[in-house]
């Protein structure tokens, strides 16, 4: 008993390939179903040729090449997309499963790994840039940045630097606990300095000197010397 679907899917070899147009009605895995009444020459499904980078979708009018010999059978191939049912959407299918998707002017690159290499430079300009990743790494021989306003929420920060120089107009710091170790010299220069401690102030040193050109005042309920 003959199988009509098998005959339609794998037509007998033709004398020479022919080009027809058809409308895509669906897809199953790598096969694209065609509307035979639209002029596909009786073929109800076809494969996408490697040269057809734009992935056909339902409602698209495609160019089909019939009579392509594959072994002992003849398989139709979609060579190109002639017109799109949705002109605002398209997928550029690349070898290896990578894709470039366009949707209403938005462009997306889909691949397992994406790399950008520029012989001279790579520039990025946009009103808004968002980066979301589980881990990141930046390496610069020299970095210059200009930021109008910076707001950061950090869980843990660790920095290692040979030298740090900063110029700040106004510095406000608030910490629950603060610890600092300086191996050699720790020097602070200020026009005026005030230390305000809510509970206890403890100063311990091998040698201590308090030198003032003017007045030195010590005021307390009890003063112990010695």
Would you place residue 52 in the very low, low, confident or very high pLDDT band (cuts 50, 70, 90)? Answer: very high
pLDDT digits (tens, 9 = 90+) for 138-151: 999 999 999 999 99
What is the second-level CATH architecture of the domain 4-93?
A: Beta Barrel (2.40)
pLDDT score of 12 = 45
Which residues are CB-contacts of 38 (< 8 A; sequence separation ≥ 6)?
21, 22, 23, 61
Mean pLDDT of the chain: 86
How do residues 122-133 score in pLDDT, each as one tens digit? 999 999 999 999
Residue 38's pLDDT band, with cuts at 50, 70 and 90, is low
**Residue range 188-212: mean pLDDT, rounded:** 90
Structural domain boundaries in the chain: 4-93
Higher model confidence: residue 4 or residue 189? 189
DSSP, residue by residue, 148-178: S------S------S------S------SS-
Task: Give the pLDDT band of residue 59 (cuts 50, 70, 90).
Answer: very high
User: Residue 15: what pLDDT?
Assistant: 46
- For residue 16, what pLDDT is reported? 61
Whether 88 has a pLDDT exceeding 70, the answer reads yes
Q: Could you tell me where the beta strands, DSSP code E, fall in 73-205?
A: 73-83, 89-93, 99-103, 106-110
Token duo for residue 16: 């020479």
- pLDDT reported for residue 42: 63
Q: Which of 16, 17, 15 is nearest to 66 (CA)?
A: 17
Please enumerate in sequence order all residues whose Cβ is within 8 A of that of 201, keeping only pairs 6 or more positions apart, or say none: 195
The pLDDT assigned to 6 comes to 42
What number of CA atoms fall less than 13 Å from residue 52's CA on the CB side?
20
Query: Model confidence over 90-128: pLDDT tens digits?
Result: 899 888 889 999 998 899 999 999 999 999 999 999 999
Q: How confident is the model at residue 4 (pLDDT cuts 50, 70, 90)?
A: very low
pTM (predicted TM-score): 0.62
Of 62, 76, 63, 64, the C-alpha closest to 14 is 76
Task: Give the pLDDT band of residue 40 (cuts 50, 70, 90).
Answer: low
Predicted confidence band of residue 7 (pLDDT cuts 50, 70, 90) = very low
């Amino acid at each position: 008993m003959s199988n009509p679907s098998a005959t339609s899917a794998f037509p007998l070899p033709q004398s020479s390939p022919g080009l027809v147009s058809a409308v895509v009605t669906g897809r199953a895995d790598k096969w694209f179903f065609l509307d035979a009444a639209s002029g596909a020459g009786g073929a109800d499904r076809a494969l996408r040729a490697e040269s057809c980078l734009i992935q056909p979708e339902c409602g698209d009018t495609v160019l089909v090449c019939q009579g392509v010999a594959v072994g002992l059978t003849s398989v139709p191939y979609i060579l190109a997309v002639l017109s799109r049912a949705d002109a605002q959407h398209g997928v550029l299918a690349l070898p290896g499963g990578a894709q470039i998707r366009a949707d209403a002017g938005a462009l997306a690159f889909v691949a397992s790994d994406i790399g950008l290499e520029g012989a001279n430079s790579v520039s990025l300009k946009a009103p808004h840039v968002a980066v979301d990743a589980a881990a990141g790494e930046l390496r610069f021989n020299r970095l210059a940045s200009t930021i109008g306003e910076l707001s950061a929420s950090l869980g843990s920060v660790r920095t290692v630097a040979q030298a740090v120089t900063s110029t700040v107009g106004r510095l406000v710091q608030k910490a629950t606990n603060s610890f600092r170790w300086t191996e050699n010299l720790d020097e602070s220069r200020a026009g005026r300095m005030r230390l305000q401690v809510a509970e206890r102030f403890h100063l311990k040193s091998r040698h201590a000197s308090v030198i003032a050109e003017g007045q030195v005042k010590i005021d307390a309920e009890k003063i112990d010397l010695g």
